[in-house]
Amino acid sequence: MKKQPNFEDIPVVDCYKYLGILINRRLTFAEHFEAISKKASKLCNCLAKIPQNQLSTKNQIILWKQLIFSTISYGILSINYTSPSIASK
């Protein structure tokens, strides 16, 4: 006797998160860029609260690269597949 696979309906959603990248129905990545912008802004605000004399310039650069640059650069290739009006935001 053969087992039949359980076919289930795939729900339709407006936006789906896959490997940390938000993908919408139209593949514009608008939600992804908005989420990255908010996250990077929060991280910048956190770094701005650290007194300048507490970290050397080298350590400030390391923190920036590890926290903010990595957030911005992850999924950066998706910008090639979005409209210029969304990417310019």
pLDDT in tens, 6-65: 778 878 889 988 888 888 888 888 888 888 889 888 988 888 888 878 888 898 889 888
> What is the per-residue pLDDT for 63?
86
> What is the per-residue pLDDT for 27?
80
Q: Is residue 41 part of a domain?
A: yes
Number of domains in the chain: 1
Q: Is residue 2 part of a domain?
A: no
Lookup result for tokens 């597949």: 81
Type and span of the H or E element at 23? strand 21-24
**C-alpha span between 44 and 55 (Å, rounded):** 15
Lookup result for tokens 């076919």: 7
Q: Is residue 4 part of a domain?
A: no
Beta-carbon count within 10 A of 29 CB? 24
Q: Domain range holding 20?
A: 15-87
pTM score, whole prediction: 0.66
